[in-house]
Amino acid sequence: MDKVYKITACRFLLSLALVVLMLSGHSYAQQKVIQKVEPPNWWVGMKNTSLQIILYGPSLSEYSVSIDYPGVQFTGAIQVENPNYLFVNVEIHKTAKAGKMPVKLSKGKRSLIYEYPLLEREGFEGRILGLDASDYIYLIMPDRFANGDPSNDIVQGMQQTTIDRNDDYQRHGGDLKGITEKLDYIADLGVTAIWLNPVQENDQPSESYHGYAITDLYNVDRRFGGNEAYLDFIAKARSKGIKNVMDVIHNHVGDRHWIIQDLPFKDFVHQHDEFTRTTYRASTQFDPYASEADHKIFTDGWFDHHMPDLNQSHPMVATWLTQNNIWWIEYAGVDAFRLDTYAYSDKGFLESWGKAIMDEYPQFGMFGETWVHGVPTQAYFHGNTNIHKDFDGSLPGLTDFQLYYAINEAMNGNFGWTDGVMRIYYTLSHDYVYKDPSKNVIFLDNHDLSRVYSVAGEDMNKFKMAIAWLMTTRGIPNLYYGTEILIKNFDDHKGGGNLRKDFPGGWPGDEVNKFAQEGRTDLENEAFNYVRGLGQWRKNKDVVHRGKLMQFIPEDNVYVYFRYNNEDCVMVIMNCKDEETTLDTKRFAERMQSYTKATIIPSGESFSDISAIKIDRKSTLILELNK
């Protein structure tokens, strides 16, 4: 009886194991030999027919590769220094159909087949929309906005399994479901696009909350809800007229990334005898007097100890990154990329990468982070300029740090020949270097910068001055989450955690809910209503999206500019003085001569006489001019 029982039990366990193996989609041999495949799938009908598949597993280079699939040409498998890798090259011609492409691996008498998925592309009508000056971006750090699913706060097996909302550098539990549940709130602000700080897996032992040390380029972090939650967020945002901006990093990954843990070849990352940090000096890339050492340390130095610097000048690294970015556009219908640490990557790579993306998706939106000083430095990295340079990365827009510095100076600086609000005037006067400056992204703060309400000295007039400028000057405005409810803090220079506070009300059990009017203070509601009013107004104002800009030299610390087209004219008056002033408008007859009245935005109050306009201290008036 015991023997029969044991045999039956063994058969049951064997049957169960076979069922598990069949459900997994791969045989035991495949699982043992092939542990990683990137990209996990591809599509037929791509404009670029080349594909390089990375296969990873123990001693995988000992296997020979063959592929027999209609419309696909196998062009070779590359063995590298590390015997655990094979780089398989194929050409997927226009005649190829969707299906499972058999990748046959052979070693002596042993062989196995990996069925690689080739998918049908989705239609592009209304799917990938790009970005332009009609957009208004809302930046969210997913871990700090809202916790829609507490069950994924801690994922066993990951390296960081703690939640501590009292520590700015620990995970707090925000996720994609939480953001999705707050889409009505975001849409009510007039927002047309959401930029999320990186959502891919960050399985790092510490500070994994911010997303910038990615350990898996193809999978959304499970603590954010995984890939399905990301697709759900994109679909529901799109249903509310909101685009998706994905944060992309070419410069580095996390040091716990699986490919860093077992490098394919030594120069996959930039190697140094000892830890060498980048200088963060982008000017070395075009300085005619720069030393070669300074030039090299900027691009090849590591951003931080836990962020290995990728060697994009190596063609396999370049292909790995480029294919991943194309995969996300195709897989998720991403509308645009924000490119982190753009200036630090290899210039040759950025040129070929930009061409590959724009060739495949001409309508795609991109803007690069260029945290640099000076318009010429910034413009060097722009892909659409009027200046002669040795580099063209096809980048249609960038983060306009020069205007960020300028608005801060306008709020707080003393008026002088080049100081105070004059900084805005001079910075914009340099727009001749760009062919289309309207695609630059303008901002008042972000996840790395002191909160604008704090920078404004918690002065509501100065805060509104900055918001009014953001919504009316040229470019694509970007608002950092919580700015609308006066979240504050200065950078503590310890890593920026204090700039990334939780949005009150985003967590079950929060004492106050600032997503709702009744949860906000009177001052917070004043700020919220002003931001919301301008956002809703801007959303339908073509004159602000595509109209021309005319600025007048600031006088007596008052700056006046106009946005105008053939039908409409908006006048903006910034009084940067610490006292009320009355502006005589005769000087602005060039733009005002056919108008006699004005409406204040967003309050709707009206002026019946615009020959002289009174304006409060440290404040801005936005006026729609009427005949």
List active site positions.
340, 369
The 50-56 sheet, strands edge to edge: 36-38, 50-56, 85-92, 72-78
Structure tokens at 45: 């009908």
Strand partners, 467: none
Amino acid, res. 134:
S
Q: Which amino acid type is present at position 108?
A: G
DSSP 548: E
Paired with 478 in beta bridges are 137, 443
Q: Which residue's entry shows tokens 């501590």?
A: 164
Residue with tokens 């064997």: 14
Q: How many Cα atoms are found within 13 Å in the side-chain-facing hemisphere of 325? A: 29
- Taking CB atoms within 8 Å and a gap of at least 24, the contacts of 593-599 are 594/627, 595/569, 595/625, 595/626, 595/627, 596/626, 596/627, 597/625, 597/626, 597/627, 598/571, 598/623, 598/624, 598/625, 598/626, 599/623, 599/624, 599/626
DSSP run (H or E) holding 510: none
Residue with the two structure tokens 């063994």: 10
* C-beta of residue 411 within 8 angstroms of C-beta of residue 466: yes
> What is the spatial distance between Cα 535 and Cα 196, in angstroms, rounded to a whole number?
19
Strands (E), 27-152: 36-38, 42-43, 50-56, 64-67, 72-78, 85-92, 99-107, 110-119, 137-140
Q: Containing H/E element for 625? A: strand 619-626
Whole-number Å distance between alpha carbons of 421 and 377: 22
Strand-pair category, 64-67 with 99-107: antiparallel
Consecutive H or E run containing 576: none
Q: How far is C-alpha 550 from the geometric centre of its chain's CA atoms?
A: 30
Whole-number Å distance between alpha carbons of 365 and 368: 10
Residue type at 305 in one-letter notation: H
Residue 263 has a CB neighbour count (10 Å cut-off) of 17
